[in-house]
Structure formats: structure tokens, C-alpha cells
């Protein structure tokens, strides 16, 4: 029985041969060898290219030289970059804003509660008096008596066996100390390791590459952008540099040295820059800037002491916060368009652009909510207070804190949205050279039969498709 249902055209019958390999009635049997390895016959140039063969042709051969070019040289470059960044970080002289000479933060374990501050209703008032066995610092191994306040920002509700951080000042045999907070360092590290392990477990090799990119991004933000801003570099320019470097490295580890990686990198950087520019424009229209943030009083010390450009910190932060979402959109769009070209190598630029926009619109519809919801979540306590005090609309909409939150959410979402057409445009231009070049395959297909349509395979002869 034929593999094709009755009433449908067999792809091979359109070229003068039925599904079973026998010539149909009235057709001239081909004299070409049936085994493609025999003879010197060339494949029909009019036949449509097989996407699988096209993908195999593009796959690079794994050789030591190719491996060195793909991974060896980039790793050497990353190592050199890390060394330079570390040199910049540790060579930056920081002006002392406060005097904390002799003050250290050490680890300890609560061994005894001398006096508690818990009330009958469960609240805590005043201070606890506790005994702590020090596990680090000059008092390591000794038990000291100290206090723990009842505040929510400092101190801890101490219990026997709890690990705490002790702020102490030692002068000879005299020690002045207090409990700074519960020791959360190991717990935070464990959750971070579990997160990275989960990425590798679910993503496999791709997940491992993503972890490397994530670690590199964290390293770059801490060790590059902070000293650059502290040295007086424009926060916006420093943020653009960090976004470009981290995006390039992350995309390279995920996609390798391909045009897809370049497209995703350019689209991500363009989206982040658009987010920063929209934040600047929004700030210029509303009179908001980095001078209106809640911790401006502390930041003024940096401005006076080291001439740090405090006003640009807000826009740099918006640019960096939009990096993750724009990177997701750009890479997903570039990967989808790259796969479209692999499956249809003769697609035109216009068709590829339209297909890419359809893919990008679907992602844009969901990712546009990401940053909005993120900033709404961080300002939820402020919104609850506004609701509780029954503030009027004019008070809320003109509040600096609400205005800054709205700016951050909208500017980042602008970057995500504008990232889509930019990435699609770059991919259309890079994946398909010109419409005329991509149309050559169709012209070859249509050369065999003037009545040919894309629905049927191409025939070099005059025979019509037959039913099987």
C-alpha cells in the first residue's frame, strides 16, 4: 500500500516516478543509476535543498584547531580581562567616609540567654543579654557577654545555639560588643549553589554555560562598574560597557561564534540603551533623576568626597535591570529566526522579517510584564501605606517614590519592546544577504515547469503530478 493517501499527490510522482520506484504508464524511464553512489550523475539543481543537509553543511568540524579558536582564545581573553578588572578594583583608593578603626564583625554562637526581652503579647521591647562563644577574631574560643537589640533592622531574637554576627571593638582586655544580626552567610551561599546546580541539572551543557555566564555577569557588575563609577566615569557609560561585555560573553558561551550570537548581542545592547534613553527622557519630562532617590543623603557624601556622578546612578540601574529581560528576548528571537533560515534556506529578507516579528510579538506580550511586575513587587509596601492613609490621586501620582518606580518599570519595558524590531531587523540583514540572492532558489525551482507552484516538488521534465 502506498505511503500517501488516495487523492494526494506523491512528491516523487511529480518528477516522473511513483512511490514504489516504478515508472508510471507512458513515462520515459530514467537511465540514471538508482544508487546515488554509482555513476557520475549530479543531483538535479532544480530540487529544493534538504534542511537537514543544509544544517549538516553549516556544522563546523570538531578539530583541535577549531576547538582552540572557538574556546581557547576566548577563554584566554576572558582571563586577561579578569586580571585587568581585578587590578582596577584593588588599585582604586577609596576615601574613608566613616571612622571604624578597631571595629570588626566576627562570628559567634549563642550559649546562654541571661535576660530576655519578650513580652506577654509576643513582642520584644528593649534588649536581650546573652552569652556568645566567639568562633572568629581575637576573642576566638572565648565566651563574652553582649547585648542584642529588639530592632527589625539590627540585632536578632537570640536563642541558644543560634549563629550570630557580633560587632565588637577590642582595646586591650576591654571588649565593647553587640549582636549585629543572625549569621545568614552560609544559608545564602547554600541557596545560591542549589540554584546554580538546578540550572545545570535541568539545562545540561547549556545550563553549565549559562552558569558560567551568570558568574561572569556578577563578577563584572561588582568588580568593574563600581570602581569605574567611583573613579568619576559616567554611570550610564559604565552601565553600557558592562551590558555589552556581559552580553557578549554570555551569548558566546550559549551560542558559540555564530551570527546568531552576534545578532542577539547587538539586539540586547540596543534594547538596554533604549531603556536608558527612555529613562532619561522620562526623567527630563517629569523632573526626576538620581538626586530624588531615598538614600540621597548618604550618596551626597560620595559626591562631596569623590565627585561621583550621583544623578546618573538611577538611569544606570535601570539599564542594568533591563539587561536580563532584553537578553532573553533577543536570544529567543535570534534563535527562532536562525532555525527558520535553516529549515527554509531560500526564504527572503521580507518573509524572514515578518516571521521574526510574529515570534517577537509573542515573547513581547509576556516579557513586557516582567519588569513592571518586578518594580511593583519591590514597591508593594509603599503602595500599601498609600492605600492605608487613603491618599488622594494627586498625592500618589506626584510622589517622587511612586514616580521613580513607574519610571523604572516603564523604561525597562520600553527596552524590551524596542529590542524585538531591532533584533529582527539585524537578523534579517545578517541571515539573508539580499532578497535577490535568496530568490535564486525559487527561480531555479520554477525553471523546470511554468505551471509550477511551491506546493509541489520541482520537475525537470514536462510530466504532470500523478495521483497514487
pLDDT band at 49; cut points 50, 70, 90:
low
CB 132 within 8 A of CB 179: yes
Classify domain 105-183 by CATH number. Answer: 2.40.50.220
Closest CA to 213 of 74, 314, 316: 74
For 117-141, write each residue's pLDDT tens digit: 888 887 788 888 999 999 998 889 9
Strand partners, 178: 167
**pLDDT tens across 390-425, in order?**
888 898 888 888 888 888 888 888 988 999 999 999
pLDDT tens, residue by residue, 424-436:
999 999 998 765 4
pLDDT given for residue 50 in this prediction: 56
pTM of the predicted model over 0.75 = no
Phi-psi region of 298 (alpha: psi -120 to 50; beta: other; left: phi over 0): alpha
Q: Where does residue 335 rank: exposed (0-12), middle (13-18), buried (19+ CB within 10 A)? A: middle
215, burial (CB in 10 Å: exposed 0-12, middle 13-18, buried 19+): exposed
Q: What pLDDT is recorded for position 135? A: 93
Look up cell 577609596; give the residue: 94
379-384, Cβ contacts within 8 angstroms, sequence gap of 24 or more: 379/405
* 238: Cα within 13 Å, side-chain hemisphere: 24
CA nearest 161: which of 114, 115, 107, 111? 111
Alpha carbon distance 307, 93 (integer Å): 13
- Per domain, the residue ranges of the chain are 105-183, 234-443
Q: Please tell me what DSSP assigns to residue 165.
A: E
- Which of the listed CATH numbers 1.20.1640, 1.10.8, 1.20.1070, 3.40.50 matches domain 234-443? 1.20.1640
Element (H, E) at 150: none
Cα gap 104→382, rounded to integer Å: 34
Average pLDDT of the chain is 78
Distance of alpha carbon 324 from alpha carbon 446, whole angstroms? 46
Range with lowest mean pLDDT among 66-70, 193-197, 464-468? 464-468
Residue bearing the bigger pLDDT, 453 or 157: 157
Q: Cα dihedral sign for 442, 445, 450, 451?
A: negative
Amino acid at each position: 500500500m502506498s505511503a500517501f493517501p488516495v487523492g494526494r499527490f506523491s512528491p516523487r510522482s511529480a518528477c516522473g516516478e511513483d512511490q514504489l520506484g516504478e515508472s508510471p504508464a507512458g513515462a520515459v524511464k530514467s537511465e540514471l543509476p538508482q544508487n546515488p553512489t554509482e555513476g557520475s550523475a549530479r543531483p538535479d539543481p532544480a530540487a529544493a535543498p534538504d534542511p537537514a543537509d543544509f544544517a549538516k553543511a553549516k556544522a563546523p568540524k570538531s578539530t583541535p584547531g577549531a576547538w582552540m579558536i572557538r574556546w581557547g582564545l576566548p577563554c584566554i581573553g576572558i582571563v586577561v580581562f579578569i586580571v585587568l578588572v581585578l587590578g582596577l578594583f584593588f588599585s582604586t583608593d577609596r576615601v574613608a567616609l566613616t571612622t571604624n578603626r578597631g571595629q570588626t564583625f566576627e562570628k559567634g554562637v549563642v550559649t546562654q540567654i541571661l535576660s530576655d526581652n519578650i513580652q506577654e503579647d509576643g513582642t520584644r521591647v528593649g534588649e536581650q543579654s546573652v552569652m556568645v562563644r566567639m568562633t572568629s577574631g581575637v576573642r576566638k574560643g572565648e565566651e563574652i557577654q553582649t547585648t542584642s537589640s529588639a530592632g527589625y533592622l539590627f540585632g536578632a531574637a537570640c536563642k541558644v545555639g543560634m549563629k550570630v554576627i557580633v560587632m565588637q571593638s577590642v582595646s586591650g582586655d576591654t571588649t565593647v560588643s553587640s549582636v549585629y544580626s543572625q549569621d545568614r552567610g552560609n544559608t545564602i551561599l547554600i541557596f545560591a549553589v542549589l540554584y546554580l546546580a538546578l540550572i545545570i541539572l535541568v539545562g545540561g551543557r547549556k545550563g553549565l554555560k549559562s552558569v558560567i555566564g551568570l558568574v561572569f555577569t556578577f563578577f563584572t557588575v561588582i568588580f568593574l562598574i563600581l570602581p569605574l563609577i567611583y573613579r568619576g566615569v559616567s554611570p550610564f557609560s559604565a552601565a553600557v560597557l558592562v551590558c555589552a561585555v556581559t552580553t557578549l560573553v554570555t551569548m558566546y558561551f550559549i551560542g558559540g561564534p555564530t551570527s546568531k550570537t552576534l545578532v542577539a548581542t547587538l539586539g540586547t545592547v540596543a534594547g538596554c540603551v533604549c531603556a536608558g534613553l527612555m529613562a532619561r527622557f522620562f526623567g527630563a519630562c517629569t523632573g526626576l533623576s538620581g538626586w530624588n532617590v531615598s538614600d540621597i543623603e548618604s550618596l551626597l557624601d560620595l559626591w562631596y568626597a569623590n565627585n561621583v556622578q550621583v544623578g546618573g546612578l538611577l538611569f544606570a540601574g535601570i539599564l542594568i535591570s533591563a539587561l536580563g529581560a532584553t537578553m532573553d528576548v533577543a536570544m529567543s528571537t535570534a534563535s527562532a529566526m536562525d532555525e527558520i533560515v535553516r529549515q527554509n534556506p531560500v526564504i527572503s529578507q521580507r518573509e524572514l522579517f515578518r516571521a521574526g516579528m510574529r515570534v517577537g510579538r509573542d515573547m513581547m506580550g509576556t516579557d513586557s510584564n516582567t519588569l513592571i511586575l518586578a518594580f511593583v513587587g519591590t514597591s508593594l509596601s509603599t503602595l500599601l501605606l498609600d492605600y492605608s492613609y487613603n491618599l488622594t490621586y494627586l498625592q500618589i501620582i506626584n510622589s517622587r517614590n511612586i514616580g521613580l518606580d513607574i519610571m523604572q518599570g516603564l523604561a525597562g519595558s520600553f527596552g524590551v519592546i524596542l529590542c524585538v524590531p531591532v533584533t529582527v531587523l539585524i537578523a534579517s540583514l545578517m541571515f539573508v544577504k539580499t532578497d535577490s540572492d535568496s530568490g535564486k532558489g525559487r527561480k531555479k525551482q520554477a525553471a523546470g515547469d511554468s505551471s509550477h507552484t511551491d506546493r509541489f516538488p520541482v520537475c525537470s521534465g514536462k510530466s504532470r503530478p500523478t495521483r497514487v
